[in-house]
């Protein structure tokens, strides 16, 4: 097994896609989701310690490329991530990502990891964590509208963290729903395949919307949503992309990760800039109330935030010693004299010259 502290301290642990899959399968998907959730709760409860800024986004007609940085003062982290809904038509992933943790004291990287799989896991864990604080008590049934790459992760997170065991699934692409049902077979769910959004939400205490199209969409209209439900809106995550009719927002108690980012990217981009919302971390620390009655509609307007990636990367780094699922990359120059980087290059050429003489 590879040890986490190498003899050469200039080597950087790297978690590939293959390593990530082996970590998840070795620990168990639901165990990974609950583990990430624990790290998320730790970091949300110390939210005020972190550097916070809206993600740095480069938008195009085809999609978006983003950088998501943060630091708790000791460790710095960032994620590179894209969102290109058109990619699925070309056989490509809508979202790809990688992330880095670094030591604030030296600036040296501590971890480089794939984050396409890890982002799906942390998004699902964040959704379920929010629902744990906001959903109606005793919730067992979730409607999931949008059954693409995120759907199985969401289902398993809500099962492991919130106790959801009944799913009502709908997607405009029937093959996506069939895929989701097939992948979740035997994992403890009672699943109903629905032929409309309206059918999906009937009898559901939790409604998750997780669609991918980059457009102002109305996945749910006001008349579809009754009282006493929790809405987990995670598909709207950039300017010009929404899923809910504005009237639903006006009837809901809205909870967000980081208001300056959510007002740009979330469902609340449809509302005035001063419209009141609550921050999830304050609910978790007891500073503000979450759900206050059984008839209330609670809405988690989630766009994803850098601290969540930071938590997920921390979790993965802490699994490396026990799993051994990583390799070292020679990423950091290490000259004998830190001021003589060019001399290091020259000395690297000496053996080749001697061989040719």
Ordered per-residue pLDDT tens for the chain, 357 residues: 566 766 667 899 999 999 999 999 999 999 999 999 999 999 999 999 999 999 998 989 888 899 999 999 999 999 999 988 889 889 998 889 999 999 999 999 999 999 999 999 999 999 999 999 999 999 999 999 999 999 999 999 999 999 999 999 999 999 999 999 999 999 999 999 999 999 999 999 999 999 866 566 788 999 999 999 999 999 866 677 788 999 999 999 999 999 999 999 899 999 999 999 999 999 999 999 999 999 999 999 999 999 999 999 999 999 999 999 999 999 999 888 999 999 999 988 876 555 555
Q: Which residue, chain included where needed, has tokens 């995670």?
A: 234
pLDDT for the residue 205: 98
pLDDT for the residue 241: 77
Q: How many CB atoms are located within 10 Å of the residue 22 CB?
A: 16
Angle among Cα 97, 161, 30 to the nearest 5 degrees reads 60
237 is annotated as an active-site residue: yes
pLDDT for the residue 47: 98
Task: Name the catalytic one among 43, 171, 237, 309.
Answer: 237
Question: What structural domains does the chain harbor?
Answer: 11-117+308-353 (3.30.1780.10), 136-304 (3.40.50.720)
CB 321 within 8 A of CB 289: no
> 207: helix, coil or strand?
strand
CB 313 within 8 A of CB 101: yes
Residues 6+ apart with CB under 8 A from 68: 55, 56, 78, 79, 81, 304, 305, 306, 309
pLDDT for the residue 341: 93
pLDDT for the residue 32: 98
Buried b (16+ CB within 10 A) or exposed e, 196-234: ebeebbeebbbbbbbbbebeebebbeeebbeeebbbbbb
The pTM of this model reads: 0.92
């Amino acid at each position: 097994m590879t040890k986490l502290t190498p003899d050469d301290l200039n080597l950087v642990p790297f978690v590939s896609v293959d390593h990530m899959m082996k970590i998840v399968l070795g620990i168990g998907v639901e165990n990974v989701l609950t583990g990430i959730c624990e790290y998320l709760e730790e970091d949300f409860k110390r939210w005020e310690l972190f550097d916070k800024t809206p993600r740095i986004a480069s938008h195009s007609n085809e999609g978006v490329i983003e950088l998501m940085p943060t630091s708790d003062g000791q460790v710095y982290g960032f994620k590179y991530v894209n969102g290109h809904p058109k990619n699925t038509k070309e056989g490509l992933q809508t979202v790809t990502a990688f992330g880095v943790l670094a030591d604030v004291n030296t600036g040296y990287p501590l971890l480089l990891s794939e984050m396409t799989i890890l982002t799906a896991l942390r998004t699902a864990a964040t959704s379920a964590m929010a629902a744990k604080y906001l959903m109606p008590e005793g919730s067992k049934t979730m409607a999931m509208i949008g059954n693409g790459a995120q759907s199985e992760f969401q289902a398993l997170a809500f099962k492991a963290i919130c106790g959801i065991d009944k799913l009502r699934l709908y997607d405009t692409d029937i093959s996506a729903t069939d895929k989701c049902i097939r992948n979740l077979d035997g994992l403890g769910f009672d699943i109903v395949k629905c032929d409309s959004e309206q059918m999906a939400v009937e009898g559901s205490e939790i409604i998750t919307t997780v669609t991918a199209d980059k457009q102002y969409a109305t996945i749910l209209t006001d008349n579809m949503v009754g009282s006493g439900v929790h809405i987990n809106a995670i598909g709207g995550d950039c300017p010009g992309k929404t899923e809910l009719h504005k009237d639903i927002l006006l009837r809901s108690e809205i909870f967000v990760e980081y208001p300056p980012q959510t007002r740009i990217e979330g469902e609340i981009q449809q509302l005035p800039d001063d419209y009141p919302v609550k921050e999830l971390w304050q609910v978790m620390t007891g500073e503000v109330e979450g759900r206050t009655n059984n008839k209330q509609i609670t809405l988690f307007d989630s766009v994803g935030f850098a601290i969540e990636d930071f938590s997920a990367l921390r979790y993965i780094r802490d699994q490396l010693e026990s799993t051994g699922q990583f390799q070292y990359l020679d990423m950091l120059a290490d000259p004998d004299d830190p001021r003589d980087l060019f001399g290091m290059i020259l000395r690297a050429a000496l053996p080749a010259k001697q061989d040719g003489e």
